[in-house]
Amino acid sequence: MTDSISLRPRIDADRPFLAALYASTRVDELAITDWTDEHKVAFLNWQFDAQTIHYDEYYGEADFLIVEKDGVPIGRLYVYRGPAEIEIVDIALLPQFRGGGLGTRLLRDILREGAESGKPVRIYVENFNPARHLYDRLGFQHIDTNGVYHLMKWMPNAG
The reported pLDDT for the residue numbered 1 is 46
d(CA 28, CA 43) in angstroms, rounded, equals 14
d(CA 151, CA 146) in angstroms, rounded, equals 8
* Domain regions of the chain by residue span: 5-154
| Residue 5 exposed, middle or buried by CB count within 10 Å (0-12, 13-18, 19+) | middle
What digits encode the pLDDT tens for the residues 99-131? 999 999 999 999 999 999 999 999 999 887 888
Provide CB contacts within 8 A for 30, sequence distance 6+: 40, 43, 44
Query: Under CATH, to which class is 5-154 assigned?
Result: alpha beta
Nearest to 74 by CA among 12, 26, 130, 21: 21
DSSP 8-state code for residue 138: T
* 15-24 vs 37-58: helix crossing angle, rounded to 10: 110
The reported pLDDT for the residue numbered 158 is 61
